[in-house]
Structure 1
Amino acid sequence: MRCILVSLVAVSVTAGALASESKPATQATIEANQALYKALPFQDKKDFERAQKGFIAKQDVVTIKNDQGNVVWDLEEYKKYITQDAKNPDSVNPSLWRNAQLNLINGLFKVTDGIYQIRGYDLSNITFVEGKSGWIVFDPLISQETARAALDFINAELGERPVTAVIYSHSHIDHFGGVRGIVDEADVAAGKVQIIASHGFTEHAVSENVIAGNAMGRRAIFMYGALLPRNEQGGVNGGLGQTTSTGLATLVKPTLIIEKTGEEHIIDGVKMVFQYTPGTEAPTEINTWFPEKKALWMAENSTNTMHNILTLRGAQVRDALKWSYYLNETIELWGDEVAVKFQSHHWPMWGQEEIVNYFKLQRDMYKYTHDQTVRLMNQGYIGSEISEMIQFPKEIEQNWSTRGYYGTLRHNSRAVYQRYMGWYSGNPSDLNNLPPADAAAKYVEYMGGEESAIEKAQKDFESGNYRWVAEVMKHVVFANPESKKGKALLADSYEQLGYQAESGPWRSVYLQGAYELRNGTPSAGGTNTASPDIIKNMPPEMLFDYLAVRLLPEKAAGKQYAINIDFTDLDEQYTLYIENSVLNHTTKLSDKPNVTLTLTKESLDNIQLGIITLEKAISSGKIKLKGDKEAFKDFVGMLDNFNFWFNIVTP
């Protein structure tokens, strides 16, 4: 009997795990990067001054290991080749190189009286606010190991203080995953530590990668460059930070929920006012105003880059219009008073006038993307056309904080189009078009065959037309996955596009694609199931929805089952119905179930975590079955298992 384990994935890999067959930048790439260098105000050094302001101390070596001795975070890999005085290599976009230099300014910093940040210990920042009796921590990083290292560092420098409260700004894992590295859940239960988050936090934090978790996890390998070598022709920067840590992600449930803008709370003697911003950068998110310090914590609603309206790993499309609305509300609420703003990525900014101008540019970046995409959409243009036409005005284009290190105007405009219009372009030819491999075969045939297509594409490559070469060679590779010349030329074109990319994720996507074309799809890399805390906080309804997407219709065809499930520790009962090759669940119990399962939620969690097998749970009485046991076995046999390492750049 196959286990019903939920195969959520968290990618834990050794940085630079993939060997590289990289090639140098071509003359066309060198010229493209030089042109951008001339077009942007590199003489402006204000960000470097801001990133170093308030510096207190740093550790000479920032290499963090877990209890087993495995490295989960290593800033030293980047410091070997990214230095503050080095000019960008030919193989790195100069603007992305600048962003990497800024993100490598690491250590402990004073933001303002009583507020400190440690930067460079994960993709995100961890912030410490002095409370009356201890530290109030904002966003405890991804991994418990990195969060613990940061807490130890600040205590060593500024004096030992307990953590009295933790505030999760939003429901993405780099803002809560390290919590068990700095607090004990027993202290939370005893009321010694408060955990504060906004409405719906736990549900969104757990569900973020459940339904589409396998596909999103595989694509995250491309987006974050976790497997790329750390060198000038590999991983350089993730846009928001260098990359993601790979320790244990944890979660402790909030004890105080923020439900509306204007809520005021005194946390360990520190007065805070919250702005509730649902549907912006995350489904649920809060900014925090410190009225006594004139300091504004912006969570991830404004960072020093253009953010994603749709992430390349996949997610629901965000609302650019709502995002701009909440940024405008921030200006109206505290723009007249603010003296410093800081956030969960990058470096702070000081000075009321500069901060308000910054907020206006952030607001208008999203508003412009929305408005101009919709304008062109209403003129009849489709997403790919709009992404080629839309351009920022000079005020936004020439500002460092609105450059596309993470999101880009190209894919954000397509995301706005997708939000309103969906996948269909409106052209009848796109309504029932051929899938990639079938279309590729006909494209190559019409091109005069594989050799002819490669010969023509080679000339375009030599002319620097890498976008077009990538388009043509994609068809050659999908028509013939064994084409060595086709894959080699496609990899070369991806590589040059990666070298030119200003966006960290775009660079990673292109270079990971080049690697897989040259070496094949990886089959390993430390992939493991979701952390125990994520599993334990998954409500039964979420599990049942996940099982429904795993149902194999050919195995469920013609079958009708009712399965009652009684969770004794939750005092909750459900019925699963399988009919019409669909799984539904309800709290209205069936009077005539085929089989009834009685168990605790803890037992189910232990099965999902691999602590006990399903068979052992049944034989030991952890799960009690009443009725037709074969019906339950048949149901479990209907569930599909997802292969994480599916092909992306080949069929």
Structure 2
Amino acid sequence: MPLSTLFPRARLATLIALACLSQAVYAAPEANPSPASAQTTSSNAAVLQQRPFSNDADYAAVTRGLVAPFTGQVLDAQGKPVWNLASYEFLNKKDSPATVNPSLWRLAQLNTHAGLFEVTPGLYQVRGMDLANMTIIEGDDGLIIIDPLTAAETARAALDLYYRNRPHKPVVAVIYSHTHTDHFGGVRGVIDEADVKAGKVKVLAPSGFMEHVMSENVYAGNAMSRRAQYQFGLYLPRGEQGQVDAAIGKAVAISGTITLIPPTDLISQPYETRRIAGIDLEFQLTPGTEAPSEMNLYLPKFKALGIAENASQTMHNILTPRGAQVRDAKAWSQYLDASLGRYGDKTDVLFGQHNWPTWGAESVRTLLADQRDMYAFLNDRTLHLLNQGLTPMEIAQNMQKLPGELQNKWYTQGYYGSLSHNSRAVYQRYMGFYDGNPANLNPLPPVESARLTVEAIGGADAVLGKIRAAMDKGEYRWAAQLGNQLLFAEPENAGARTLQAEALDQLGYQSENANWRNIYLTGAMELRNGVPRNPGSSVSVDMVRALTPQMFFDFMAVRVDVDKAVGHDMNLNWRFSEPDQAFNLTLRNGVLTHREGLNPKADAGLTMSKATLEQISLKQLDFPTAMQKGLIKLEGNGQKFAELLGTLDTFSPQFNIVTP
């Protein structure tokens, strides 16, 4: 049978979508946002009385130890900017504009301080050249790097900045503190994999690192990528009416090259020590906290505690808006307490992988205790209220402030996480999505519910009138809820789009939380300009290569369209020649499953190297060409294999969010 007949459209398109971000650069259109309303102006002015602005110690801390500033851009090989700190020059104004919450403006200004900083002699950080920090430990005969940023380009630029100002030593070890892409994606910018394979460079990570990197970034990766565009305001223009900050840093280097070199040394015990380049390191595993696989690091020589992302200059997320597994606030609190108990009396400086350090033993102990109490409060207070019968939104409304002195500390404010989202996340962890109300047991889907709601109110014109009335009163949350109903009932209603965008503008301008601001303003932008076109690929070559065959098959099962697959039952053998592994795939009832080993009664069998599958997954090769070149051997009923490929969907990353 000719290959053109066997594979009329058969090819595996992109096999994964990274949860982080697309590597395409998007030129944001003119968003034409509305100005701050009188109510928003008044709301933001009131914040000046609500937050501890008289405490300005962070302005000294954020500049402490500056060795060399960074103010410009990082360019890729084609000369296009991967990172552009200069785009935030508008933040040089002392006073916040009416379109930005003053508390968020303060943090946005602090996060613009970028460059090479001395944390303590022999311990340095490059901050403000990506979302995360890159930490550099000077050993006797080499450097130890903690978290090489998101992209190879920014990581290389960060290391170059260090080398221009410090003695040149080779990198002998890289440490991944946890599994999020901004903490490992730039690794090829600072080390060569050949040196890793030769044993010249160690790569250390917490136990379960690769498994969690894959599971976080593959199965729901397409949806996470899209939602991350909202969370980080990736396509918003930088400015007073656009993106000003990302709370734990300025932004994400979305157009850079995301890389990954698998670890050579896993930390698997609760506490483990290593000696590298004459430096003693003690690791503390903290699974289930800010990431499912994460670890802190204590450096006795420097009396310094690296707290990874378990403590920062903001409340963090129990459930990030881009999507993730719900984190364990109770465990998070307990690990911080363990850090305080074990290291609190012998630490002079606390450094994290976002924001700036905290110096002074008493200040370090206070911050650890405060953040411990904050996460414990989030867990325990939510449980207290849910046990009284309150539902998620009622709990969120009840938890408007932190208890005691926590409410008056800058580093407990809801810039990244929020009391509203975090309390609902804790509820979800313990109780699930259902609030117990029978009316919410099987509600109508959004479009049908919206259509009936608009009809019940009296039609589109009546709803528009109520939205305008809510806007006039400054009731923007209610206006946005009404606008959402009308948009899902009538997506092309121009009046609804205009009013909804204006309501989202005001909610964004008032938000102290950077994520919330970015989400609101991105929604408003897309209502005015449509969903951004994204011609790039979110595929990382290293991520594809790191997938095990089982992970390939797991994601293939996610891609199966059950409606296409029903009626095409089959059994296929799939053997890899390099490495020598064999699997049996079963498509039955429209569901694809797999197990190790071969079935002698299979309908068909394929033999290929894993490298060939990787090339196909990256669109560097297709199945027919691979077969013509002899890279794939097909036995039995090849039509069955073609039918399997015909059931696979390729996900579009640019699906609608603010409209159906």
Decide: shared fold, TM above 0.5.
yes
* 2-structure distance, mates of 1:418, 1:326: 21
- Whether 2:529 is the aligned partner of 1:519: answer yes
Question: Is residue 44 from structure 1 mapped to residue 60 from structure 2 by the alignment?
Answer: no
Does 2:657 align with 1:648?
yes
User: Any residues of structure 2 matched to 1:488-499 within 5 Å, and which?
Assistant: 488-499=498-509
Does residue 571 of structure 1 match 2:584? Answer: no
Match in the other structure for 1:202: 210
2:418 to 408, 421, 431: 408
SS in 2 for 1:292: helix
Checking the alignment, whether the CA contact within 8 Å between 2:31 and 2:529 is kept in structure 1 is no
SS in 2 for 1:195: strand
CA distance in 2 between counterparts of 1:355 and 1:124 reads 20
User: Counterpart of 2:195?
Assistant: 187
Mapped to 2, the partners of 1:167 and 1:244 lie a distance apart of: 20
After superposition, residues 452-601 of structure 1 pair within 5 angstroms as 452-524=462-534, 526-601=535-610
Query: Residue deviations 1:380-404, cap 9 Å, x none?
Result: 1111111011131141111100111
2:94 to 73, 79, 86: 86
**Aligned residue number for residue 116 of structure 1:** 124
CA contact (8 A) 1:15 1:229 kept: no
Aligned residue in 2 for 1:225: 233
Instruction: Select which of 451, 454, 463 maps to 1:441.
Output: 451
Shift of 1:206: 2.4
Q: How many residues align?
A: 647
The answer as to 2:154 corresponding to 1:146 is yes
Residue 20 of structure 1: how far off its partner (Å): 1.3
SS for the counterpart of 1:208 is helix
Q: What residue is the counterpart of 2:314 in the other structure?
A: 305
Among residues 283, 286, 303, which one is paired with 1:274 in the alignment? 283
Does structure 2 conserve the Cα–Cα contact (< 8 Å) formed by 1:13 and 1:226? no
Give TM-score, length-normalised by structure 1: 0.98
Tell me if structure 1 keeps the 8 A contact 2:297–2:307. yes
Superposed CA deviations along residues 490-527 of structure 1, whole A, max 9, x for unmatched, are 11000100001111111110001001111222232x53
Q: Tell me which of 375, 387, 392 is aligned to 2:396.
A: 387
Is contact 1:15-1:230 (8 Å) kept?
no
What's the CA shift for 1:55?
A: 1.1
Q: Does 1:31 align with 2:20?
A: no
| 8 A Cα contact 2:12 2:622, kept in partner | no
Letter in 1 for 2:612: S
Q: Who is 1:53 aligned against?
A: 64
Amino acid across the alignment from 1:212: A
Q: Is the 8 A contact 1:16 1:230 kept in 2?
A: no
Superposed, which structure 2 residues align to 1:613-628 within 5 Å? 613-628=622-637
Code of the aligned partner of 2:187 = V
C-alpha separation between the residues in 2 aligned to 1:622 and 1:18? 45
**Structure 1 residue ranges (4+ consecutive) displaced by more than 3 angstroms after TM superposition:** 13-16
Q: Shift of the alpha carbon at 1:104?
A: 0.5
1:318 aligns with 2:302: no
Q: 2:319–2:327: 8 Å Cα contact kept in structure 1?
A: yes
Q: CA deviation at 1:332?
A: 0.9
> 1-side partners of 2:16 and 2:33: how far apart?
33
Following the alignment from structure 2 to structure 1, what is the Cα–Cα distance between the partners of residues 631 and 48? Answer: 64
Residue 111 of structure 1 contacts residue 348 of structure 1 at CA under 8 Å; is this kept in 2?
yes
Alignment-derived partner of residue 21 in structure 1: 32
Aligned partners of 2:171, 2:528: CA distance in 1, in Å?
49
**Contact 1:215 1:644 (C-alpha < 8 Å) held by counterparts:** yes
User: After superposition, where does 1:277-292 map in structure 2 within 5 Å?
Assistant: 277-292=286-301
| Alpha-carbon distance, 1:15 to partner | 6.4
Residue 341 of structure 1, aligned match among 339, 344, 350: 350
**Aligned counterpart in structure 1 of residue 434 of structure 2, from 424, 437, 449:** 424
Q: Deviations over 1:548-581 (max 9, x none)?
A: 1111112211332111111111111101100111
* Range with greater deviation from structure 2 (314-323 or 205-214): 205-214
Q: CA deviation at 1:87?
A: 0.9
Q: What SS does the aligned partner of 2:522 have?
A: helix
Tell me, yes or no, if the aligned pair for 2:476 and 2:507 is still in contact at 8 Å: yes
1:209 Cα deviation after fit: 1.8
Tell me the CA shift for residue 315 of structure 1: 0.9
Distance 1:608 1:208, change over 3 A: same
Residue pair 2:345, 2:361 contacting (<8 A) in 1 also: yes
CA distance in 2, matches of 1:564, 1:294: 56
Q: Are positions 1:363 and 2:358 aligned together?
A: no
* Mapped contact 1:171–1:284 kept (Cα < 8 A): yes
Amino acid at match of 1:219: R
Number of the residue aligned with 2:6: none
Uncovered stretches (5+) of structure 1, i.e. residues with no partner: none
- Unaligned regions of 5+ residues in structure 2, if any? 1-8
Query: 1:610 deviation in Å?
Result: 1.4
2:568–2:643 CA contact under 8 A, matched in 1: no
Report the Cα offset of residue 457 of structure 1: 1.6
Give the whole-Å Cα distance in 2 for the aligned partners of 1:175 and 1:7.
19
CA contact (8 A) 1:279 1:322 kept: yes
Structure 2 residue identity aligned to 1:311: T
Check the 8 A contact 1:306/1:401 in 2, yes or no. yes
**Aligned-residue offset at 1:144:** 0.3
Q: Distance in 1 between matches of 2:615 and 2:386?
A: 50
Structure 2 CA distance, aligned partners of 1:94 and 1:135?
40
Rounded to whole Å, the distance in 1 between the matches of 2:191 and 2:176 is 13
Deviations 1:181-228 (A, max 9, x none): 010111111111111111011121222121111111111111110100
Residue identity in the other structure for 1:630: Q
CA–CA distance in structure 2, aligned partners of residues 290 and 7 of structure 1: 37
Residue 302 of structure 2 corresponds to residue 329 of structure 1:
no
Distance, in Å, in 2 between the alignment partners of 1:456 and 1:475 is 12
Amino acid at match of 2:232: Y
Q: Return the offset for 1:16.
A: 5.6
Aligned sequence identity (%):
45
The offset of 1:12, in angstroms, is: 2.7
Equivalent residue for 1:160? 168
Q: 1:582 to 1:537 in 2, by over 3 A?
A: same
CA shift digits 1:578-618 (9 cap, x unpaired): 01111000003212111111001111111111111222112
Q: What letter matches 2:51 in structure 1? A: L
Q: TM-score, normalised by structure 2?
A: 0.97
Supply the distance in 2 between the matched residues of 1:643 and 1:292 (Cα, whole angstroms). 50
Counterpart residue identity of residue 571, structure 1 = D
Name the counterpart of 1:251: 260
Give per-residue Cα distances to partners, 1:370-425, cap 9 Å, x unaligned: 10111110111111111011131141111100111111110010000111111111
Q: Is the 8 A contact 2:348 2:361 kept in 1?
A: yes
